[in-house]
Amino acid sequence: RKFNFCAGPAALPEPVLRQAQQELLNWRGLGCSVMEVSHRSPEFTEVAEGAEQDLRDLLDIPANYKVLFLQGGATGQFSAVPWNLFGAAGSREQRVADYIHTGQWAEKAIKEARRYGQVNIVASSADRNFSYAPGPDSWQQSDNAAYFHYTPNETIGGVEFDYVPEVSCPLVADMSSNILSRPIPVEKYGMIYAGAQKNIGPSGIAVGIVRDDLLDRALPDIPRSLRWKVAADAGSMDNTPPTFAWYLSGLVFQWLKAQGGVEAMAELAEKKSSLLYGFIDGSDFYSSPVEKSSRSRMNVPFVLADDKLDKAFLQQAEEAGLLNLKGHRSVGGMRASLYNAVPLEAVEALVAFMADFEKRCG
Ligand code: PLP
């Protein structure tokens, strides 16, 4: 296997894939795969409940929060958040939500919320091309917001918040690209959601963590499939869930626990990202477009001094076994995603390759 820096769907831990491979044809001696049993069977119920418990242990989720395994990805939650939280706010004109605009993912969430109510942009980093996370000094919060939404890690721009916003309404976070990469104070949030395909498991499933007093604030016309309360009451099985993705996510949670949990992941993320940023900062050939205080530990965008070399860089990186370093199509350049399953050796190999490329082509 090669070192995979894909932003998502991203690398999975090799031991997890090996276990899944081993169990694929004959899971638990049942004579069929986990994909071929009922989601209501005792065997799958054990998988589902085990995954929830492991996630609760990993993130230290308080008992008054529901853990949901959802479909429709994080994008589904861009819609689900306003649908589920605007219900207590009154008419469309009275519905207000605060959003921080930090880049492309925040913007998608904002656009979706605008379809159901008023969005107040509390702060935006558009003035410097979304290269930083705005600090709380500049915020313009509304006094009647139904909730406050932000994107703790912008996967495309490589911008990560190093603090949790202090707000007086329910705090909602799209943690798709940095969940499980460090301990989080769940009790400060009203709702956390994340698409699985970066730090959790394969695509096709998303995780939601919702404080239970927020389950009764949905707009009356909310589609059933988006309603958190329906998912909570049905153990995330109101309809057939993506069982294989759920099972694999559960294996990832077990792997994370065996690695030492989110504390160990935070330490590793710090090591990996500081190795790469340190190298980039020490070079005149590579540079990072992100302000130092807001640099993501998960997604590291960087550019070469001469973009005519981009193609050769990517081709040679691939030949060296370093996959998926191309930056997002909207920003160009390079991006190395360093999620939990990317080992330190991958970053060491990347830095060695970058140094060598610079020597030969810089
Ligand atoms: N939010 C963030 C921060 C993301 O990085 C992504 C995907 O890359 C999404 C949302 C969209 O996730 P999904 O494809 O699961 O809808």
**154 CA: nearest ligand 1 atom:** 3
Active site residue 311: no
Q: Which residues of the chain have pLDDT under 70?
A: none
pLDDT in the model for residue 138: 80
Residues 264 and 253 in one domain: no
Q: Are residues 157 and 99 in the same domain?
A: yes
DSSP 295: B
Is 210 in the same domain as 282? no
Between CA 357 and CA 339 the distance in angstroms is 24
User: Does the reported pTM lie above 0.90?
Assistant: yes
Atom of ligand 1 nearest to the CA of 76: 16
Closest residue to atom 10 of ligand 1, CA basis: 74
C-alpha 96/C-alpha 160 separation (Å) is 25
* Overall number of domains in the chain: 2
| 9 prior amide bond cis, ω within 30 | yes
Nearest to 146 by CA among 78, 201, 76, 86: 86
With a 6 A CB cut-off, is 170 part of the ligand 1 pocket?
Answer: no
Active-site hit among 27, 98, 174, 228: 174
Q: Are residues 110 and 246 in the same domain?
A: yes
Q: How far apart are the first and last CA of the chain?
A: 29
Of 223, 258, 293, which marks where a domain is finished? 258
Domain boundary among 210, 240, 258: 258
Specify whether the CB–CB gap between 299 and 290 falls below 8 A.
no
Residue 188: per-residue pLDDT: 98
Q: In the prediction, which pLDDT does 133 show?
A: 97
295 and 236 inside one domain: no
Task: Give catalytic status of residue 105 as yes or no.
Answer: yes
Domain boundary among 213, 243, 258: 258
Ligand 1 in reach of 73 Cβ (< 6 A): yes
Cβ of 296 less than 6 Å from ligand 1? no
Instruction: Mention every residue, 6+ apart, whose C-beta is less than 8 A from residue 335.
Output: 5, 7, 156, 158, 299, 300, 301, 302, 325, 326, 327, 328
102 carries a ligand binding annotation: no
For residue 152, what pLDDT is reported? 98
Angle, nearest 10°, between helix axes 243-259 and 14-23?
Answer: 130
151 is in an annotated binding site: no
pLDDT of residue 63: 98
Q: What is the pLDDT of residues 90-146, one digit of tens each?
A: 888 899 999 999 999 999 999 999 999 999 999 999 999 999 999 998 888 999 999
The answer to whether residue 16 is domain-embedded is no
What is the C-alpha to C-alpha distance for residues 327 and 360, in angstroms, rounded to an integer?
Answer: 22
The catalytic residue among 27, 66, 83, 198 is 198
Q: What is the CATH number of the domain that holds 111?
A: 3.40.640.10
Query: How would DSSP label each residue in 254-276?
Result: HHHHHHTHHHHHHHHHHHHHHHH
Torsion of CA 271, 272, 277, 279, to 10 degrees: 90
Model pLDDT, residue 362: 81
Note whether 344 and 213 are same-domain residues.
no
Domain match, 163 and 252 both: yes
Owning domain of residue 194:
25-258
